[in-house]
Structure 1
Amino acid sequence: MADFPVPQHSTSADRDAAQRLHNPIHAERHVRVITVGAGASGLLMAYKLQKHFNNYSLVCYEKNPAVSGTWYENKYPGCACDVPSHNYTWSFEPKTDWKATYPPAQQIFEYFNDFATTYNLFRYIKLQHQVVGAYWNNDKGGYDVQVKDLASGKIVNDHCDILVNAGGILNNWKWPAIPGLDQYKGTLLHTANWDDNVDLTGKHVGLIGNGSSGIQVLPAIREKVKKVTTFIREPTWVSPVPGLEQKIFTDQEKSEFANVPGKLTDYRKGIESGLNGQFGLFLQNNKINLETREYMINAMKEKINDPYLESKIIPEWSLGCRRLTPGVNYLESLTKDNVQVVYGEINSITERGPLCDDGNEYPVDILICATGFDTTFKPRFPVVSDKGENLQDVWSQADPTSYFGLAAADFPNYLIFLGPNCPIGNGPVLCAIEAQADWMCKWIDKYQTTNIKTFAAKPEAVADFVAFKDQFMTKTVWVQNCRSWYKGRPDGPILALWPGSALHYLECIKDLRLDDFNVTYAGNRFAWLGNGYSQTELDETADWAYYIRDQDDDEPLSTAGRRKKLTKSGTVFDRAAVNFSGAKDVEMRGVVEEQPTARL
């Protein structure tokens, strides 16, 4: 059989296409993957590749001296997850000994670090190595990746066929844009860059911000310091949902989770079903939203018990416009004798402390900025396409857009965890990360078993998705005029969230939509047909008549059939009609209908 001609300046993909003629169909060529970041997403990607693939190489570059990403970096007092602990795990990797419903960050770090150890993932990881650039190589195909060895300062060069950015969203911290911050003479701290050597005992501490970090810091430091002056510029919803209040697990409960078959699984399923049954919280004028709002108002008033603070802290805008937070002991702390609440804008920072729009200066010994992260979605290093475009520039000049939060238009062989408009706040997030990893693995499989050279999301597919997303978002509470990292500006488009529920997202990305991608091939697109042999008949251990059987036990061929089998449709009959607020009505397809929702 004659080989396909190989171009004079051939890539590895071109050479592979010619070689495929000598191999059986779907021969697995070697694929080189580079993953940026060894937080939760990067570790999961390493696990998935190890579990499902052969003939691959992987390196995961991590800038920190340890894995776990944000759970290694964030060490401020009170740092915790706002998702119930037993459901902040991989679906297949439960943990039986969580300390509490909302455990400290250190225990979450240990979970992901133990995950990496258990599955021997450290062999793929290079710690203290920071990716500083990725440039498409038109001659070789794939990306030339520049990596800085943070220990030596040297730049190391690498190359990959497929680049996966698992750098995350909430770990590129930033100082607040307040004039004079650099003039402050006291001790300046940021929650995401915490200095454990600073002793807060007996100090007058200023705290800027009432997002998730600020809400966790205040009750954690209040009893240690002399005084806290907390600066708040806007209201926010703070309260755990009914049934998910903070709880310390007893030794007996931990023992039962570990030793009673089904105990922990049932507990986790109950919480996850409850979280997945509450998407109506994010829809405007939905009964769940309205009734839960009333519950939250009453719960917050009971804890604050101060009419003035209530008027400043409880929002007018709908529940869910900003990310909800349990806020364990936060509201109660606001009314303590050694806590001063200053509401409004900080005009500048003087040598002594914040100067606010009430005309007063507030001197403090230590100033803590709980002011969040750069959430613009721009990659933190140049990613340059085959057309010479830098994604940093593309997403700086216009709102960042993506294909389902997974890929950027016209950037070949580049995949993204938790990109623009992913389900980061729509419900349980780790299940969405798992679905993203599976979707990426399906592309890697396509690449490995065919002679695909490049795959890149079509601009028109991304544009259509963004148009659908913008139209859908008009029905949600997220478009209301609140400050939120979900959007670049209070009145701007929703850049972070998926237009639907978490379960909606799982169904959406279950299969690849190849028609949404521009795909190029090395040589003849059918070179993967190979030498005429199947993989089966070359496997001496395989059943060469596997399709002969005594009954039709085929997997479902329809989307509906596959979904019903996967979700065990028809097996749940006793789901209680209970949600966060106790309401029994949920909105489906724009119509309020009677339908049971999940129990927490």
Structure 2
Amino acid sequence: MSQNDSHATFTTNYPNPIHEPKHLKIICVGAGASGLLLAYKLQRSFDNFELMIYEKNEDISGTWLENTYPGCACDIPAHVYTYTFEPNPNWSSVYSGSREIRDYFLSFAKKYELHKYIKLRHQVSGAVWNDKTGQWDVDIANLENGSVMHDSCDIFISAVGVLNAWKWPTIPGLHDFKGPVLHTARWDSSVNLEGKHVGLIGNGSSGIQVLPAISPEVAKITTFIRSPTWVSPTRGFESRIYPEEERQKYASDPQAHLAYRKTLEKNMNELFQIFITDSPGQKQTFDAMKKMMQDKLQISDDLQKLVIPTWPVGCRRLTPGIGYLEMLASDKVEVVFGEIEKITAKGCVSTGQEYPIDVLICATGFDTSFKPRFPLIGLGGKNLQDAWASEAQSYLGIAAHGFPNYFMFIGPNSPSGNGPLLVAMEAQADYMLRMINRWQTENIHSFSPKIDAVQDFIAFKDEFMKATVWEHECKSWYKNNSASGKVTALWPGSTLHYLEAISDPRYEDWDFKYKGNRFAFLGNGRSQVESDSTADWAYYIRNEDDGPYLGRLKQTKIVARSGTVIPADIQSKPRYGSQ
């Protein structure tokens, strides 16, 4: 029989060739950076699928749509706050603002026609695993008309982000205040701050950004700070506006742009050393940042002791405080340390004294418990909200035991503060799609990480964290806004470490349930190649071995282009034998 006769019919109980992709339905919650990435990668690599992304907001881009407060910007360089495969040569500055970042994601969605997968102003309100059908039954609230619709899917994915569920401070009398009350994550631009006395609660990332941004227009700022924090641009990431000639260079010379992006990314990856307690990098950075803060504050020694931390650099997320320290030391800003006891109609009371203000800004962060924002009911009626009530325990930051066919982006113990983030998000998407590919091309009913795999991962993570600065006594969202709780937000290693750790699924860590005979996917005895008369049926015949390396170390060296970079510490030294 010739290749053109490949579609000849014959009798079989399995009519399809091996790995025939069955129809796949995915529901994703959220159309921010991770939801858009999923849509792109699914569209690029898969056939015979249906994707529905439900987004509660009126438009896409998640946190970059929601956060519009003055000074809002990403706290890592913009040229590496992009998908690795989708550079943007036109960033205006090192730390670009939220509107510019949002434009990047809008452009990405438009370029790849991703809007067809997205339903805006629709909020998932609950999801229940149906083990009989092997699907998730999902309730969605239509925020336009208040109705509730029902949908179902084979794979359910959370892409809601971590710093997204903002919260008011739990201070008595908050709603007694007679003036405007703003939250940085729900900014009301109609409130006029010109000439006003503004009270600012919080000195996390948003508080550090908003204070210098509003200072030119307000009459005075009273900032209420409960604890010190490390604030300073990190070496190599100094804030600056890109001149037009530099932007044109990156736009016209992709290789020059790539080299600059790699330099920034390499610098970020090198930062991981400072997160190890008592390491030379930690000690050097501690001394350098302490001196930098002292030089910029120019305030009394007593105030410096309150502003500059004693705990290690990196225990809380490092924040480039462009202009913050200088303003903190100015006559326009009054610094009040300690807890706010209550809020009155006129202002805030701290240490027994009332501080009258006109406008109150709350830069008080988010719910970082990792609990789902809606009931998520898995096997045996277990609700993930309850299972993670005291501690969120994931499998490698992407899955949860007892919740089949369920994934999450940037789940507990993902590398959300260890170095570059979006590349880790890409690695998570690739991992998910490898698992989904198996589901689609085999007769798998469901898959869920084994409990002992989750427990072993958590035990390893807890032991690793003992050697890091993250476990020191500082209040951080890394520890669910506690000072001494378990580190639930961060991966036990660097971002590069994470990329290797999840590059290949450890299928032995998963419970697979099949529909009938697990080998039914073998089909009618024909390959997918034999189903394609235009394919090369002898594709494996070649003149040299150009196949992938199968040893992990050799494979990693090839992927990382080992031997192509001269280490910085020997670049300036003469090579052996040189004159």
Residue number among 377, 386, 391 corresponding to 1:384 in the alignment: 377
AA at the equivalent of 1:412: P
- Check conservation: 2:83, 2:423, Cα contact below 8 A: yes
- Distance in 2 between the 1:510 and 1:500 partners? 15
User: What residue in structure 2 maps to residue 316 of structure 1?
Assistant: 310
Larger CA deviation: 536-545 vs 211-220: 536-545
Distance 1:525 1:243 in 2: 54
Aligned match of 1:597: none
Q: Distance in 1 between matches of 2:88 and 2:95?
A: 14
Which residue pairs with 2:413 in the alignment? Answer: 421
Match of 1:469? Answer: 461
CA contact (8 A) 1:450 1:527 kept: yes
Query: How far 1:513 sits from its partner (Å)?
Result: 0.6
The offset of 1:575, in angstroms, is 3.4
2:146 to 153, 157, 178: 153
Q: Is the 8 A contact 2:93 2:241 kept in 1?
A: yes
Question: Aligned to 2:350, which of 339, 356, 378?
Answer: 356
Q: Is 1:48 aligned with 2:41?
A: yes
2:449 counterpart (453, 457, 463): 457
Give the residue type in structure 2 aligned to 1:345: E
* Correspondences of 1:41-120 after superposition (within 5 Å): 41-120=34-113
Q: CA deviation at 1:548?
A: 1.5
Bigger shift: residues 456-465 or 557-566: 557-566
1:337 to 331, 335, 342: 331
CA 1:577–1:491 in 2, change beyond 3 Å: closer, same or farther?
farther
Q: Which moved more, 1:301-310 or 1:525-534?
A: 301-310
Contact 1:25 1:530 in 2 (8 A): yes
What's the offset of the Cα at 1:268? Answer: 0.4
Tell me, in whole angstroms, the C-alpha distance in 2 between the residues paired with 1:100 and 1:538: 52
Residue 576 of structure 1 and its aligned partner are, at CA, apart by 4.8
Deviation at 1:309, TM superposition (A): 2.5
Q: Is the deviation greater in 219-228 or in 560-569?
A: 560-569
- Contact in 1 for aligned 2:20/2:521 (Cα 8 Å): yes
- CA-CA distance at 1:93 after TM superposition: 0.5
Measured in 2, the distance between the counterparts of 1:554 and 1:366 equals: 65
Render the CA deviation track for 1:61-97: whole Å, top value 9, x for unaligned. 0000011000000000100000001010010111111
Code of the aligned partner of 2:540: Y
Select between 558-567 and 27-36 the one with higher mean Cα deviation: 558-567
Structure 2 CA distance for aligned equivalents of residues 504 and 342 of structure 1: 41
| Contact persistence 1:405–1:418 (CA under 8 A) | yes
Q: Secondary structure at the match of 2:491?
A: coil
Q: Structure 1: 5+ residue runs without aligned partners?
A: 1-18, 579-600
2:120 maps to: 127
The alignment's TM-score, normalised by the length of structure 2, stands at: 0.95
What secondary structure, in the 3-state scheme, does the structure 2 residue paired with 1:518 have? strand
Kindly provide the CA deviation profile for residues 303-335 of structure 1, in whole angstroms up to 9, marking residues without a partner as x.
001123211111000010000001100000011
Q: Is the CA contact 1:20–1:27 (under 8 Å) kept in the aligned structure 2?
A: no
Greater than 3 Å deviation, 4+ residue runs: 574-578
User: Corresponding residue for 2:285?
Assistant: 292
> 1:201-233: CA deviations, max 9, x gaps?
011100000000000000000110011000011
8 A contact 2:236–2:267 mirrored in 1:
no
Deviation, 1:109, is 0.6
Q: Is the Cα–Cα contact under 8 Å of residues 20 and 528 in structure 1 kept in the other structure?
A: no
Letter of the 2:177 partner, please give it. Answer: Y
Which string of whole-angstrom CA distances, capped at 9 and with x for unpartnered residues, describes residues 560-600 of structure 1? 1211111111111253579xxxxxxxxxxxxxxxxxxxxxx
Q: Output one character per residue of 1:448-471: Cα deviation in whole Å (capped at 9) or x when no partner.
A: 000111100111100000000000
Instruction: Output the CA distance in 1 between the equivalents of 2:376 and 2:193.
Output: 42
Separation (CA, whole Å) in 2 of partners of 1:422 and 1:242: 25
For this pair of structures, how many residues does the alignment match?
558
Q: 2:28 aligns with which of 22, 35, 57?
A: 35
Is residue 200–residue 224 contact of structure 1 (8 Å, CA) maintained in 2?
Answer: yes
RMSD of aligned C-alpha atoms?
Answer: 1.2
Tell me if 1:406 matches 2:398: yes
1:484 deviates by 0.3
Q: CA deviation at 1:277?
A: 1.7
Contact 1:20 1:527 in 2 (8 A): no
CA distance in 2, matches of 1:524, 1:361: 73
Within the alignment, does 1:535 sit opposite 2:528 as a pair? Answer: yes
* Cα distance between partner residues in 1 of 2:191 and 2:13: 62
TM-score, normalised relative to structure 1: 0.92
Q: Is the 8 A contact 1:41 1:433 kept in 2?
A: yes
Structure 1 residue 487: Cα displacement = 0.5
What's the CA shift for 1:243? 1.9
Which whole-Å CA distance do the structure 2 matches of 1:94 and 1:404 have between them?
28
1:596 corresponds to which residue?
Answer: none
| 8 Å CA contact retained: 1:209, 1:230 | yes
Q: Which amino acid aligns with 1:165?
A: S
- SS of 2:311 mapped into structure 1: coil
**What are the Cα deviations for residues 171-204 of structure 1, in whole angstroms up to 9, with x where unaligned?**
1000011111121111111000110110100111
Q: Which AA in structure 1 matches 2:566? A: F
Please give the alpha-carbon distance, in whole angstroms, between the structure 1 residues aligned to 2:63 and 2:546: 45
Distance in 1 between the 2:531 and 2:180 partners?
Answer: 69
Mapped partners of 1:30, 1:385: distance in 2:
23
Q: 1:243 to 1:52 in 2, by over 3 A?
A: same
Task: Give the letter aligned to residue 108 of structure 2.
Answer: F
The separation in 2 between residues aligned to 1:278 and 1:492, in whole angstroms, is 24
Match of 1:193 in 2: 186
Residue in 2 that maps onto 1:480: 472
What does 1:188-587 correspond to in 2, within 5 Å?
A: 188-306=181-299, 307-357=301-351, 359-396=352-389, 398-488=390-480, 489-576=482-569
User: Identity of counterpart residues, as a percentage?
Assistant: 53
Q: Per the alignment, in what secondary structure is the counterpart of residue 39 of structure 2?
A: helix
Measure, in 2, the Cα distance between the counterparts of 1:309 and 1:20: 80
